Amino acid sequence: MNKMEWKALRVSLFIGLAILGAANGNGYGESPGMVQSSFGDRIRRMQEELKASMVSPASSPSPSPQPGTSSPRIYRVTSYGADPTGKTDSTEALLAALSDAIQGPSKGFLMHGIRNLGGAQITLEGGTYMISSPLRCPSAGAGNLVIHGGTLRASDKFPADGYLIDLSAPASSASSSYNYEYITFRDLMLDSNYRGGGILVPKSLRTSIDNCYIAHFTTNGISVQSGHETYIRNSFLGQHITAGGDPGERNFSGTAINLMGNDNAVTDVVIFSASVGIMISGQANTLSGVHCYNKATGFGGTGIYLKLPGLTQTRIVNCYMDFTGIVAEDPVQLDISDSFFLGDAYVVLKSVKGVANGVNIVNNMFSGSNKGVDIVQLDQSTGPFKEIDQVVVDRNNVRGMNLRSTVARGSTQGNGTSWTVDFSSVLLFPNLINHVQYSVSAGTSSLFPNHCLRNTSQNRVVIESDVAVPASVFVTVDQGLTQ
Q: What is the tens place of the pLDDT at every residue in 90-140?
A: 999 999 999 999 999 998 999 999 999 999 999 999 999 999 999 999 999
Give the 3-state secondary structure of residue 61. Answer: coil
Assigned fold of 74-399: Pectate Lyase C-like (2.160.20)
Please enumerate in sequence order all residues whose Cβ is within 8 A of that of 331, keeping only pairs 6 or more positions apart, or say none.
Answer: 306, 312, 349, 355, 356, 357, 359
Q: What is the tens place of the pLDDT at every residue in 210-233?
A: 999 999 999 999 999 999 999 999
The per-residue pLDDT for 58 is 36
Domain residue ranges in the chain: 3-53, 74-399, 407-478
Taking 3-state DSSP, the helix, strand and coil percentages for the chain, each rounded to the nearest 5, stand at 15, 45, 40
| HSE-up (13 A, CA, CB side) for residue 331 | 27
61 has pLDDT over 50: no
266 has pLDDT over 90: yes
Instruction: In whole angstroms, give the CA distance from residue 326 to residue 354.
Output: 18
The per-residue pLDDT for 43 is 53
pLDDT above 70 as % of the chain = 83
How many angstroms from the chain centroid is the CA of residue 472? 52
The per-residue pLDDT for 171 is 73
CB 22 within 8 A of CB 32: yes
Backbone angles phi, psi at 229, to 5 degrees: 60, 55
CB 204 within 8 A of CB 169: no
Whether pTM exceeds 0.75: yes
60 has pLDDT over 90: no
Q: What is the tens place of the pLDDT at every residue in 421-464?
A: 999 999 999 999 999 999 999 877 788 899 999 999 999 999 99
> Higher pLDDT residue, 40 or 60?
40
Weakest mean pLDDT among 248-262, 272-286, 307-321, 435-449: 435-449
Mean pLDDT of 300-304: 98
Weakest mean pLDDT among 56-60, 161-165, 194-198: 56-60
Mean pLDDT of 324-340: 98
Hey, what's the torsion of the CAs at 345, 374, 287, 481, to 10 degrees? 180
Instruction: In whole angstroms, give the CA distance from residue 433 to residue 405.
Output: 12
Q: What is the tens place of the pLDDT at every residue in 238-265?
A: 999 999 999 999 999 999 999 999 999 9
pLDDT above 90 as % of the chain = 80
**Furthest C-alpha separation in the chain:** 143
Instruction: In whole angstroms, give the CA distance from residue 11 to residue 43.
Output: 9
Mean pLDDT of 307-327: 97
Please enumerate in sequence order all residues whose Cβ is within 8 A of that of 366, keeping only pairs 6 or more positions apart, or say none.
Answer: 341, 345, 346, 375, 396, 397, 398, 399, 401
Instruction: In whole angstroms, give the CA distance from residue 283 to residue 462.
Output: 42
What DSSP string runs through 280-328? Answer: E-SSSEEEES-EE-SS-GGGT-EEEEE--TT---EEEES-EEES--EEE
> Higher pLDDT residue, 99 or 171?
99
172 has pLDDT over 70: no
The per-residue pLDDT for 33 is 47
The per-residue pLDDT for 54 is 45
